[in-house]
């Protein structure tokens, strides 16, 4: 265990242990933190006891005596509901790392909740999906009070390969995450459409990959997602259902900002078409099946 962890943080509670939260909790436990977790579906969390992690059915028990709360839940409503349930067991000045992608309006509500209840709030969504989360190689997009950064940095160092400190002002990180998601969606749909166009015209889609390989338009994401399509492996790294939720957040934020996002709006409709034919629970590259 590092001296920083010993000195600053005794216990961390992770609320929400889906694909991302599970990986985060396990990495924290492996690196010397005392980790407790809570999930809205208790049965999905029980397996974490095998790794020495304390799993609780009631959120107030999970956060009891925690130095840091980390939320990784589906959306802003789920985060706020969970924190309201946890509130009786929270002490003033408890640090709250809000790592879910919730958008601008929800982040404002969560920040207000933190202020009303004396919590130290860090707006810290992450860039990355299942693989980087399991490897502790997420990119942390962090905003929060300068004076308390030394307390949360050890957490970020364990779950991420890099922390980008964006602002002392909460909300800036959530805005940046939406801009980044726009780029991720553009790449995702571009890969899926390119391969599906080739296939529809009777050209082997693998030739698209061969032409792009090692060229200026090649990248790791293209290789991973194109390989998933070619192998028919749509195991969820980031679900299409969640992509729809996040794309809707991008569209809403862009309207607030007065900017047109034609690509994101078209991509959102494409995601919905793939969802309609039964791929919502699969990885978002299943946009390949949009008809």
Q: Which residues are catalytic?
A: 177
Helical residues (DSSP H) of 90-145, grouped into ranges: 103-116, 130-135
Backbone CA torsion sign across 118, 150, 173, 34: negative
| Contact by Cβ (8 Å): 123, 95 | no
Residue 85's H or E segment, with its range, is helix 76-86
Structure-block tokens of residue 94: 């408890």
Question: Distance between CA 93 and CA 108 in Å, rounded?
Answer: 19
Question: Distance between CA 278 and CA 3 in Å, rounded?
Answer: 49
Closest CA to 252 of 74, 98, 100, 101: 101
Q: Is 35 helix (H, G, I), strand (E, B) or coil?
A: strand
């Amino acid at each position: 265990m590092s001296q920083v962890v010993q000195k600053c943080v005794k216990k961390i509670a992770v609320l929400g242990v889906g694909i991302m939260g599970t990986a985060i909790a396990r990495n924290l436990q492996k690196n010397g933190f005392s980790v407790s977790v809570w999930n809205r579906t208790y049965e999905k969390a029980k397996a974490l006891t095998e790794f020495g992690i304390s799993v609780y059915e009631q959120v107030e028990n999970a956060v009891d005596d925690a130095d840091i709360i980390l939320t990784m839940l589906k959306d802003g409503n789920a985060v706020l509901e969970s924190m309201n349930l946890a509130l009786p067991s929270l002490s003033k000045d408890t640090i709250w790392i809000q790592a879910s992608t919730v958008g601008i309006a929800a982040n404002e509500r969560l920040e207000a909740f933190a202020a009303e209840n004396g919590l130290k709030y860090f707006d810290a969504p992450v860039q990355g999906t299942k693989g980087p989360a399991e490897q502790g190689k997420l990119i942390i997009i962090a905003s929060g009070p300068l004076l308390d950064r030394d307390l949360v940095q050890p957490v970020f160092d364990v779950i991420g390969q890099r922390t980008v400190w964006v602002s002392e002002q909460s909300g800036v990180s959530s805005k940046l995450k939406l801009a980044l998601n726009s780029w991720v969606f553009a790449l995702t749909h571009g890969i899926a459409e390119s391969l599906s166009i080739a296939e529809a015209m009777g050209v082997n889609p693998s030739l698209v990959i061969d032409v792009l390989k090692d060229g200026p338009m090649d990248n790791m994401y293209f290789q991973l997602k194109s390989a998933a399509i070619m192998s028919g492996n749509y195991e969820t790294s980031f679900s299409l259902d969640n992509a729809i939720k996040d794309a809707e957040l991008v569209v809403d934020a862009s309207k607030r900002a007065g900017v047109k996002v034609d690509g994101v709006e078209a991509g959102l409709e494409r995601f919905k078409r793939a969802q309609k034919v039964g791929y919502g629970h699969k990885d978002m590259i299943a946009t390949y099946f949009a008809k």
